[in-house]
Amino acid sequence: MKLTLLFVAWILCSTAALAQNDAGPSPAAASGVEQKLRFASVFSKGCVLQREMPLPVWGWASPGADVSVELAGRKAGAKADANGRWQVTFEPFPAGGPHILKVNAGAESLEVADVLLGEVWVGVGQSNMIMGLGRTDGGAEAFVRAKGYPLLRFAGGSAQLAETTEPSADLPPITWGPPATGNSAVSFFFAEQLYNYFEGKVPVGILNFGVIAPAEAWCSVERLQQNPALVPLAKHFIFPHLSGRAFNGTVKPLAPFALRGVLYYQGEMNGGRGLQFRAIMPEVIASWRDAWNRPDLPFLFVQLAAFQEHKKAADAKLDMRAEILSKLNREEHGFPFVREAQLLTAQSVPGSGMAVAIDIGDQWDIHPRNKKTVGERLFLLARSKAYGEKGVVCTGPMAREAAFENDTATVTFDMEEATELTARSEPLSGFELAGEDRIFHPAEARISGNKVIVKSQAVGQPVMLHYAWAGFPEPGLFDNTGLPASPFRFYDYSRVRVSQDSFEWSLGSGDILKSKEAPGWEVTGTAEVGVGPDGKPAVSLKSDRDTAFRNSETSKLFFTWNADPLILKFIRPGSLVGFSFDMAAAGSQDVRLYVRPGANHQAGGAEAWGGASFAETTTADFKKVHIARVLQSARSEYHSIGLLLALVEPTPEQPSAPVFLRNLSAFRFVRPLLNVAPVSAIDLGTVGKDQPAESKPIRISNSQKSSLPQNLNAEAAPEPVETVLHGLADVPQDGGGILQTVLKPGEGVGAVIIGDGFELVGNNVTPDHKGVKLVGADGEPGLTGGNAPEEEILSVRFKGGDAPGTKSATLRIVTQAANLGRLSQGKTNEPPANLSYLDIPISVTVR
């Protein structure tokens, strides 16, 4: 707690002090009349306003008042609206100053002195953006240099977090002033480069706002709601979710303050949610651009620096949840996937730019002291993205693609003009390869032109390639200007055979109290680990206040519609989870047990795991109960797996007898499988003019024969529960890379026809005859497997044509199974990434 308070104090001291708007008193104020006329808080003494752009100036007055604003010899007028807000917009000004900004409304007037016109940037982020100049390498020397920059000014403060879903009207009072040791070091080193770029002749102003918050805090809730991958984030307004609160509290009241661009250093708090970050980061940028009504607003950000873990566990509270910190610095680390999401954003969002910092991190401190290099790399991006300078090298090598052939992987890079790949280590470090076993081995890498050729003696046929893919990697690849290559990964899905359709996950062995050495039961209330009616060890629940938990350590379980099959334990909705345990009653009284398997501590996530069950028994003999659940709701994060058991009291007058438990099995997961017959190209033959043609029946089914048993009554015989194969052919690309819950009753198009002149025929075709739903006998979406698998029968029909020649189309089948067809990489004209799709060519000849 003490450390946290000190850190909060440091945040407050590291940002510019907040003070009252420094404007001279009006006659109305001097006479004791209430002053209603004011500027927005950003327009205060010493402010820097953006040159060479339309310049909005706004504030508040009495509702309906006529307002006149003057700056640098120009005047503009406006009328205050019903809320008293007024705004004028000046035509672009050249650089210059100091000027006086004046406003009049009836008898009231205000003046803001020492106003400069120049270049304005806004910097926001977490503690690495907040970190003051005085705490960084070279900071003391930089502060001395800053005294020679009379036209460089800073302002800002702690980012405001709106307490409601409504945007704040204004920011707290803001003070502008010369650089101070508490100012953001990243922003200072950027500003210093910018100041010298214009030879000290153009004023430079930096507004900095920092807060320890995840990226969704800087995004509009409307944007979150519109993106299917982010809808769950839009529902929360309390920590740690904070969705939209920095946007509503800081961004909205600052817009439309004219500025050149945005500097953004954040992502640490999203560690462990990297795939979700793919969707969040573009929406953050879009939110800012919406607020300023500037689709081309330059948005420059910093990729997370190298970092393994804090030396002190308490330090984790500063920026990250403790559970995302790495123990092994590999797949468990929370940063690599965030870095990848940042890279994809830089590659896909026009006008954005990413400064790579993988080479300048601190292994044991999330706050590396080298902020000078970060600022300089951001400035290189600004020269290109914001100031349109041609030929400036602003990004390091960007991996374009990887080709896997025999025992070699060859990575091709996009290089900026006049740059070349350069090794900063001997041998070239940072590359790893893995085969189908997914076990990575260090690899030998050599540069050949704009390619890197990678091999490993331990991997005969590589399937996966990683570069700098760890919390604190050893990057060795740069260009000849000194810019590092971003971390990246490539997987060759054509070499992947998803042959294992089931796996098991144990919650620990032994029916004993949970301990570090032997994980077992956690009990609450009067529950205890004792002996059963037969005198052997068992867990006993004695009252309805008793519960027993079993919880695994964090697993690599990944649960979403399009989970990457190269994540070993991937689960998609429609899969099955099953387990068993023995239960016995004390005597002959019927007892009921509340059973909830799920994700996270204390078995949360009941929706994803198919809800809770109620197991019953009436005998003192231990009988086995089997639980089977179809997993349905989507999730996008790693989970721990848990089980909650609780005694259910039938009535207050008749308390339940104790129940005894033992022999909890491992959780078994079974995935649905796709079967299509036929899978080869379909030729409809030759037809005459305007003559239709139809294929033979095409059968789509769930070929998963395995089922899992369920008997909720310990005395009953188990009955089989099957997996469900869903159709996903109508799911569009959403840009996020993660599909949340996409199916509702009656939905689930499994096959579509692509091509003019063809249609689909079947019992469950869509109204336009372009799609066929996968619907079971019960009318619910999806096809069950098992010994009597459900199937969807359709045919392809050519409607006829009068132009002679060969006509072609494609029957595309898309499901969440990963055993047949190809795995999408989310490219143009593909389904969302990592869904499995099978394309069957269709042809017909018109004579």
782: left (phi over 0), alpha (psi -120 to 50) or beta: left
Above 90 in pLDDT, residue 331?
A: no
pLDDT tens-digit series, residues 504-521:
888 765 444 444 444 577
User: What Rg value do the Cα atoms of the chain yield, rounded?
Assistant: 32
Q: Residue 370 has what pLDDT?
A: 96
Between 325 and 565, the higher pLDDT residue: 565
Mean of the pLDDT values across residues 78-102? 97
State which H helix or E strand residue 490 sits in. Answer: strand 488-491
Maximal C-alpha separation, the chain = 97
Is the confidence at residue 736, as pLDDT, over 70?
Answer: no
| Helices and strands counted in the chain (H then E) | 11, 53
Q: What is the mean pLDDT of residues 659-684?
A: 92
566 vs 572, more confident: 572
DSSP bridge partners of 245: none
pLDDT score for 30:
40
Q: Are residues 343 and 474 in the same domain?
A: no
Same domain, 708 and 630: no
For the whole prediction, is pTM greater than 0.85? no
Predicted local confidence at residue 636, as pLDDT: 47
Task: Give whichever of 319-333, 584-598, 726-740 has the largest mean pLDDT.
Answer: 584-598
Domain assignment present for residue 8? The answer is no
Name the token pair of 488. Answer: 């990246």
Q: Band of the pLDDT at 820, cuts 50, 70, 90?
A: confident
Q: How far apart are CA 342 and CA 321, in angstroms?
A: 20
Lowest average pLDDT, out of 125-139, 311-325, 432-446, 610-624, goes to 311-325
97 in a structural domain? yes
Closest C-alpha to 359, from 277, 304, 280, 283:
304
How much of the chain exceeds pLDDT 70, in percent? 85
Q: How confident is the model at residue 16, as a pLDDT?
A: 35
**DSSP labels, 641-699:** EEEEEEEE-S-SSSPPPPEEEE-PPPEEEE---EEEE--S-EEEEEE-TT--EEPPPEE
- The one-letter amino acid at 771: G
Are residues 353 and 407 located together in one domain of the fold? no
Q: Do 511 and 637 have their domain in common?
A: yes
Residues 312 and 177 reside in one and the same domain:
yes
- As a dihedral over the C-alpha atoms of residue 86, residue 92, residue 95, residue 99, rounded to 10 degrees, the angle is -30
Q: Hey, what are 553's tokens? A: 């350590």
771/811 same-domain check: yes
What are the residues facing 595 on neighbouring strands?
A: 613, 645
Would residue 566 count as lying in a domain? yes
How many domains does the chain fold into? 5
> Does residue 324 lie within any of the structural domains?
yes
Q: Which domain holds residue 804?
A: 674-846
pLDDT for position 285: 98
Q: Which of 578, 668, 659 is nearest to 616 (CA)?
A: 659
Residue 514: the pLDDT is: 45
More confident residue, 171 or 549: 171
Does 703 lie in the same domain as 663? no
Together in a domain, 489 and 473: yes
Q: What average pLDDT does the chain have? A: 86
48 pairs with which residues across the strands?
A: 116
**Average pLDDT rounded to a whole number, residues 75-80:** 97
Residues 149 and 108 in one domain: no
> End of a domain among 57, 82, 116?
116
- The bridge status of strand 805-815 relative to strand 749-754 is antiparallel
pLDDT in tens, 271-290: 878 878 888 999 999 999 99
7: in domain: no
Q: How confident is the model at residue 11 (pLDDT cuts 50, 70, 90)?
A: very low
Give CA–CA dist 109/451, Å, rounded: 65
295 CB burial (10 A radius; 0-12, 13-18, 19+): exposed
- Residues 637, 758, single domain; the answer is no
Decide if pLDDT at 119 tops 60.
yes
pLDDT digits (tens, 9 = 90+) for 766-781: 999 999 999 988 888 8
Judge whether 15 lies within some domain.
no
CA dihedral angle for residue 728, residue 733, residue 735, residue 739, rounded to 10 degrees: -10
Residues 458 and 540 occupy one common structural domain: no
Per-residue pLDDT of 619-629, as tens digits, reads 889 999 999 99
Is 773 within 8 Å of 749 (Cβ atoms)? yes
Helix (H), strand (E) at residue 721: strand 719-721
- The answer as to whether 475 is a domain residue is yes
Question: What does the pLDDT read at residue 444?
Answer: 97
| 816 and 761 fall within a common domain | yes
Tokens of residue 655, six digits: 């308390």
Residue where a domain terminates, one of 475, 495, 515? 495
Q: Does residue 520 belong to any structural domain of this protein?
A: yes
Domain boundary among 640, 670, 700: 670
For range 714-728, the mean pLDDT: 95
Return the CATH number at 106. 2.60.40.10
pLDDT in tens, 156-207: 989 999 988 889 999 999 999 999 999 999 999 999 999 999 999 999 999 9
pLDDT, residue 309, reads 74
| Among candidate residues 607, 605, 604, 626, the one with its CA nearest the CA of residue 615 | 626
Q: What per-residue string of b and e applies to 281-292 under the rule 16 or more CB within 10 Å gives b?
A: bbbbbbbbbbbb
State the CATH number of the domain containing residue 650. 2.60.120.260
- For residue 506, the SS3 value is coil
